Amino acid sequence: MKRALRIMILLLVVFVAAGCAVIGRGRDFRPIEENTLSQVTPGKTTAADVVKLFGPPTQIVKLSNGNAYVYDRSLSKATGMWLVLVTFANYDTQYDRIVFFINNGDIVTHYGSSFKSDAATYGMPF
């Protein structure tokens, strides 16, 4: 009787502890180099120069006095552990973004940037 109970407990532990772990990483678009921004001078750089430096924009927003060229990059890191009865997962996505404001004469008036994709981390949610 005790032997059967031990076997049942052992089988239950093996059944509950069986599972797998996954670590993943994904990138969207090509990387944006921060040092390339030093080649952009508001008032002098043209829209064509921006496209030569950074490639085609992710999005073009039509404004009343020109356009905004938006460049996005994201880095995603995922960690997961699937047990038979329980799943633990963490998915972290961080973004790099540059927005160039271009007037009707196709000249960059100003830009803004945020570089945070390197802050994406692997980790479990507990």
126 falls within a domain: no
> How many domains is the chain partitioned into structurally?
1
Given a cut of 50, the residues of the chain with pLDDT beneath it are: none
Domain of 8 in residue numbering reads as: 2-119
pLDDT score recorded for residue 57:
93
125 falls within a domain: no
Residues 6+ apart with CB under 8 A from 94: 74, 75, 116, 117, 118, 119, 120
Tokens 């039509």 sit at which residue?
62
63 falls within a domain: yes
Give the length of the chain: 126
Tokens 């004469």 sit at which residue?
105
Cα 77 from Cα 121, distance rounded (Å): 6
102 falls within a domain: yes
Cα 74 from Cα 67, distance rounded (Å): 23
124 falls within a domain: no
